[in-house]
Amino acid sequence: MAGSVNHPWGIPEKLIKRYGKTWANTDFVTQNIHESQFKNDPMNTKVGTLYVGNAKIPMKFKNVISEATKLFNVLDTLYSYRKDKSRKFEVSIMDKDFVLSQLEIRKVAETLETAAEIIPKGYQLGLYL
């Protein structure tokens, strides 16, 4: 069972205009995973695809965790720029470079964090993603 974390098709036009298309279209879509793959080597299991802007980034479970942590660390360093919401910053996600606002970086980080939480829960519940 594959699923979307953010369900971007359900975001109202009002929010798309306010926050931008990159923010609105950021999503992580889990892929179908065989139970034995996740049971035997969960960290190296391909779990889904991250969508940021026009980029599609396939990710393993260990990448989901490490990239979320890295992006939250980036946000901590950008804390002093919180008043300038229009400013863009260069960030790297899985060796791909992006120019994103703080809001967009936070959305990607929170999306990955949510994915890192739901993937093992799906396995534990027997949904096998």
The pLDDT, as a whole number, for residue 129 is 46
Between 66 and 36, the higher pLDDT residue = 66
Q: Is residue 1 part of a domain?
A: no
Phi, psi of 56 (to 5 degrees): -115, 120
Number of domain units in the chain: 1
User: Which structural domain range is residue 97 located in?
Assistant: 8-125
What pLDDT, on a 0 to 100 scale, did the predictor assign at position 121? 80
In a domain, 43, yes or no: yes
Tell whether 2 is covered by a domain: no
pLDDT at 1: 42
Domain assignment present for residue 15? The answer is: yes
Helices 102-125/61-77 angle, 10° precision: 150
Q: Report the chain's mean pLDDT, rounded to a whole number.
A: 89
